[in-house]
Amino acid sequence: MKKRLILWLCLAIPMLSSCIKDEPLSREADIIEIIVDDPTFIDRSISEDNRIELIMADTADLTKITPILTLTPYATVIPASGTTFDLSNQKEVEYTVTSQNGAFQKKYTLKIGEMRKVYDFEEWTMAGTGKYPFPILTDPTWSNANSGIVTALVIGALKDFERYPTKDTTLCVSGEYAASLQTIKGGKIIGKSYPIFAGNLFRGDFSANMTNPLKSLKLGRNHPQEAGKPIAFKGFYKYTPGPVMTGADGEVIPDRTDEMSMYAAIFRVTKGALPSEEFLDGETILTSKQVVARAEWSPEAEGMIEKEAINGFTEFSIPFLYTDTIDYKRYDYRLTIVCSSSKDGNLYQGAVGSNLLVDDLAIACEPYIKTEEETTEQNSL
């Protein structure tokens, strides 16, 4: 019996070793998270064209910034994670990430970004490569679902494709450009039909999830206490509904007109949680008890003020309605803005051709006033 066991082990061990050796090496070469272990670090953004921006407080020493990177498993990066850089005066650093098998590389550009008070949608660029480049904002704190459309194109789900749902437009309030969100004809993805794809724009990240597209949205950007308490969502919009409203199965819904969706929300997260660890998605942003305040556009929005502006736009101001108090001692907070050309686009109901233009969006906040205790503590440092 022992001889048989020994013989079996002698045969099994080389086979096991062979299986281990034949395991394919990883081809992934991504930076999936980046933080700075410094109290002046506020937020980060990683765009779909591999641009990284760090948002730091005004008190940060930009000559000594030490980013800590999280990579896809087994990938390596040069310069190494934990290297200190001088990022003052808009200096940039280029990271090169190499996959485990050595065959794939990605380059990322890192710089210090600014915490904007008004989002004017002036600067756009193209992401993606080869046959399907798609438009995105150069401000990587904003995302849209255009890359999801690219995935649908690649797998043949979209045939009669004319335009991306989200792009720039020269019809604007100020500057040269605004953001244009348009509902387009959908297609079939992994056996499921989606009659429409609504144009969208949101503060957060996007990672395509073909089995549940609403999970593709990773909403929220850090909103530090020093930024103040949000009191109003402001900006300009112009909306034209499409001619034929359809339901989730593509059926025509008579006597119903498409509507736009536009709102801001602030929600709590665990103290110190990373953006990649804790966020709200396209489903939970509507239902989660983590949301402490919303400012949502609707014809009957409580306290909303509107007036006519140039080029057919409407200027609006919507107060935040709070359902809970903000407590920075217990939680961190994230804020998102979400805009869509079809209000029920998350349910794939809408009208092809519905078009929402937005420009100069902003969050008005009450100034944060330090307590006497905080002032004393800062002066003692």
Work out the average pLDDT over 295-311. Answer: 96
Does 59 have pLDDT greater than 70? yes
Residue 5: pLDDT band (50, 70, 90) is very low
> Tokens 């008005």, residue?
364
238 bridge partner residues: 357
- Report whether pLDDT(19) > 60: no
Q: What is the mean pLDDT of residues 162-177?
A: 93
CATH homologous superfamily of 116-368 equals BT2081, beta-jelly-roll domain (2.60.120.890)
**How many CB atoms are located within 10 Å of the residue 64 CB?**
12
Instruction: Look at residue 235 in the predicted model and tell me its pLDDT.
Output: 97
DSSP reduced 3-state for 88: helix
Residue 169 in this model has a pLDDT that exceeds 50? yes
Beta carbons within 8 Å of 273's beta carbon, 6+ residues apart: 332
Confidence tier at 17 by pLDDT (50, 70, 90): very low
Beta strand 51-56 pairing with 105-112: parallel
Residue 10 has pLDDT above 60, yes or no: no
**Within the chain, which residue ranges are assigned CATH 2.60.120.890?**
116-368
pLDDT at 18: 44
DSSP string across 121-171: ---EEEES-TT--EEEESSTTEE-SHHHHHHHHHTT--SS----SEEEES-
The C-alpha atoms of residue 350 and residue 184 are separated, in whole angstroms, by 9
Please enumerate in sequence order all residues whose Cβ is within 8 A of that of 290, keeping only pairs 6 or more positions apart, or say none. Answer: 267, 268, 269, 280, 284
202 near 338, Cβ under 8 Å?
yes
Helix (H, G, I), strand (E, B) or coil at 212: coil
In the chain, % of residues over pLDDT 70: 88
CA–CA distances in Å: residue 182 to residues 36, 129, 201, 237, 238: 37, 23, 11, 13, 12
Query: What is the arithmetic mean of pLDDT over 37-54?
Result: 88
Tokens read off for 129: 């490569």
The yes-or-no verdict on residue 107 having pLDDT over 80 is yes
Closest CA to 338 of 266, 231, 276, 241: 266
The more confident residue out of 373 and 262 is 262
Residue found by looking up tokens 């704190």 in the block = 141
Identity of the residue numbered 138: T
Residue 16: pLDDT band by 50, 70, 90 thresholds? Answer: very low
Assign residue 140 a region (left: φ > 0; alpha: ψ between -120 and 50; beta: otherwise). alpha
Lowest mean pLDDT among 42-56, 64-78, 150-164, 262-276: 150-164
pLDDT value of residue 331: 96
Kindly report, residue by residue over 125-158, the tens digit of the pLDDT.
998 867 888 999 999 899 998 988 887 777 776 6
Residue 285 has pLDDT above 70, yes or no: yes
Q: How high is the mean pLDDT of the chain?
A: 87
Residue 9 has pLDDT above 50, yes or no: no
Give me the residues paired with residue 69 across strands.
Answer: 34
Please tell me the predicted confidence (pLDDT) of residue 160.
63
Return the number of other C-beta atoms located less than 10 Å from residue 131's C-beta: 8
Look at residue 376 and tell me whether its pLDDT is greater than 60.
Answer: no
- Answer whether 213's CB lies under 8 Å from 148's CB: yes
Domain(s) labelled CATH 2.60.40.2340 in the chain stretch across 25-115
Confidence of residue 111 (pLDDT cuts 50, 70, 90): very high
pLDDT digits (tens, 9 = 90+) for 203-244: 999 887 777 778 889 999 999 998 999 999 999 999 999 999
On whether the CB atoms of residues 174 and 359 are closer than 8 A, the answer is yes
- Token code pair at residue 116: 């904007």
CATH topology of domain 25-115: Immunoglobulin-like (2.60.40)
Q: Is residue 377's pLDDT more than 70?
A: no
